[in-house]
A and B are shown apart, each in its own frame.
Chain A
């Protein structure tokens, strides 16, 4: 059931003056929906490109279905990688792209592709060059879903898609995944929109994986405590603080910790307010905390700890 289908060991990718991937270790299990999250330039696309054999790692090893994917048709035909800006031949129409995909992917479902094209109101006989940004994204989304590849990567597939079309994508993804379980890696900046779809979350920052955990485990792993600054600080003394905001004598502090039932009751008795931290907020805090730690020691936000303030 929890068969590993992707295994990356000590992956390093150097560009001229940049470590795009800095010793990445990752393993992905079959039939789960993963979220690959991180800021622009964090290394998400580089990682996906290497796993799908579209780029070479400087060092390290990447195995997909137990083998290297490079020039390995047996492996590549089981992988679908939908890039943010996929290039197509100049005179291609969406229907040509679908026909090529049908030849390549053995699980291709033409009926699903037709239904999706209708749902997204995609003009399948217009030249791809003439499509809008959103329609171009729809072509990718349709190929990604209808290919039913055992391992499907969506790299920010939503550019130019409006809120309605994005919701359509998420709905169709959940429906089709429920009927045809497979491994899906969804890279996205719109974390709030996809958070509930994810079973597992991988966060990458500056080429390093800083979070790799089940979504349900992350949910509730942080909490924001607010109230009078004095009481908040007394309550949170000695805890690892992700973020701190103050307004006059009030403070709102996010800690990266789970509070026990007793601690919650204690906070309530002290008149403190506890509020949940969304996955998006948590990722923002985590990636900001890392940035502040590396680049600045001003300690005025994000990387602030109570000890430092005293």
Chain B
């Protein structure tokens, strides 16, 4: 789960963000303590705390003194807005570059994206096509 691609505290922050975006960590619910994160991911507690603090600083989490960390109201909307902006850089750009490398035209690419709207989000298989078979 934790890899070498970027600082661990960023990975911890992203894991929590993912939980908020996919709804498994609801707004106003309590998140695990930094020591619990450290034990679970087998990382240094100071690193886990740094990851959590990144989210406190950006207003995604807030601290209730003596109780723990909670997901702020509006955190999900804030994260989705930011990630939508990042979506172009992270996904669309490499997609377009790879398509150009393979000589796939913009029209072909668009039709592929349309086709992908029929994909089953669970299995990634083409529902219509498997139904036809």
For chain A, residues 24 to 78, give those with C-beta under 8 angstroms from any C-beta of chain B.
Answer: 32-33
- A32 surroundings in chain B (CB, below 8 A): 46
Contacts of B44 in A (CB 8 A): 33, 174, 196-199, 215
Secondary structure of the A side of the interface? Answer: helix
A276 contacts partner chain B, Cβ-Cβ < 8 Å:
yes
- Please judge, given known A-B contacts A199-B44, A199-B47, whether A219 and B39 are in contact too, CB under 8 Å: no
**Which one of B4-12, B20-28, B119-127 is at the A interface?**
B4-12
Q: Residues of B contacting A290 with CB < 8 Å?
A: none
The chain B residue with its CB closest to the CB of A274 is: B5
A-contacting residues, B33-56, CB 8 Å: 34-35, 38-39, 41-47, 50
Q: Which residues from B are CB-within-8-Å of A216?
A: 7-9, 47, 50
Residues of B within 8 A of A178 (CB): 34-35, 38-39, 45
| Whole-angstrom CA separation of A33 from B39 in the bound complex | 14
Q: How far is the CB of A30 from chain B (nearest CB, A)?
A: 12
| B32 CB to nearest A CB, Å | 12
**1/0 per residue A208-220: CB within 8 Å of B?**
0000000110011
Nearest Cβ distance between residue B54 and chain A, in whole angstroms? 12
A88 at the interface (CB under 8 A from B): no
In the assembled complex, B118 has its CB within 8 A of some CB on chain A: no
B64 at interface (Cβ–Cβ under 8 A)? no
**Given A179-B35, A269-B97, does the pair A278, B42 have CB atoms closer than 8 Å?**
no
In the complex, A170 has a CB within 8 A of chain B: yes
Residues of A within 8 A of B34 (CB): 178
Docked pose: A236 CA to B93 CA in angstroms? 23
Q: Does A138 contact B (CB under 8 A)?
A: no
Does chain B have a CB within 8 A of A177? yes
Q: A32-B46, A171-B39, A177-B45 are in contact. Are A196 and B2 (CB under 8 A)?
A: yes
Known: A196-B41, A276-B3, A276-B6. 14 other contacts (CB 8 A): A174-B45, A175-B39, A178-B38, A181-B45, A197-B44, A215-B44, A216-B9, A219-B4, A219-B7, A220-B5, A268-B94, A268-B97, A271-B101, A279-B4
Q: Which residues of B contact A (CB under 8 A)?
A: 2-9, 34-35, 38-39, 41-47, 50, 93-94, 97, 101
Binding site for B on A (CB under 8 A): 32-33, 170-171, 174-175, 177-179, 181, 196-199, 215-216, 219-220, 265, 268-269, 271, 276-279
